[in-house]
Amino acid sequence: MTLPECDGVRVFVYGTLRRGQRNHHLLRRATFLGEARTRPIYRLVDLGPYPGLCDWPENGFAVQGEVWQVDPATLALLDALEEVPTLYRRQSIELQDDFGEVQAYFYNAPFPPGLPTSDRWPMPQSASDER
Ligand code: PCA
């Protein structure tokens, strides 16, 4: 019998945990399973140094990220980094690709109004920002 908790869980990362981003080293014991996109029912809100994933059932975006198989010790590190359950909560996310049960860190605190949203992070510079 396989006990899923012994293998850890699959986590969809979309922000500072992605390859090339500043917290990625925390995934050094994790296994990369592939790039993925969510169903278009979420958005990333740009909080500056990091993004926040939130439900956006109407006019949502297919958010880009990566799926990793994460062992329980690493998961505990990630939960501490993301200040679960205060700043973020970890819950199931719906992807377009079939990775089975996958969880992600959803932003759990109130957003200041008027922040930009996107399907990816870092967000592409808007045309008006280009110099
Ligand atoms: N780190 C987590 C959640 C937001 C963040 O910056 C991630 O990369 O998925």
pLDDT tens string 11-59: 999 999 999 999 999 999 999 999 999 999 999 999 999 999 999 999 9
Active site residue 82: yes
- Which of 58, 20, 26 lies closest to 40 in space, CA to CA? 58
Q: Per the residue annotation, which of 35, 58, 82, 130 is the catalytic one?
A: 82
Buried b (16+ CB within 10 A) or exposed e, 98-117: ebeebbbbbbbeeeeeeeeb
pLDDT single digits (tens) 90-125: 999 999 989 999 999 999 988 888 999 999 999 887
Ligand 1 touching residue 68 (CB < 6 A): no
Quickly list H helices, the chain. Answer: 4-7, 72-81
Q: What pLDDT is attached to residue 74?
A: 97
Spatial separation of the C-alpha atoms in residues 94 and 116, rounded to whole Å: 22
- Which of 65, 47, 14, 40 lies closest to 117 in space, CA to CA? 47
Q: Which domains does the chain have, with CATH numbers?
A: 9-111 (3.10.490.10)
CA separation (Å) from 125 to 8, 85, 121?
Answer: 36, 31, 11
Q: What is the pTM of this model?
A: 0.91
* Mean pLDDT computed over 62-84: 97
Ligand 1 touching residue 13 (CB < 6 A): yes
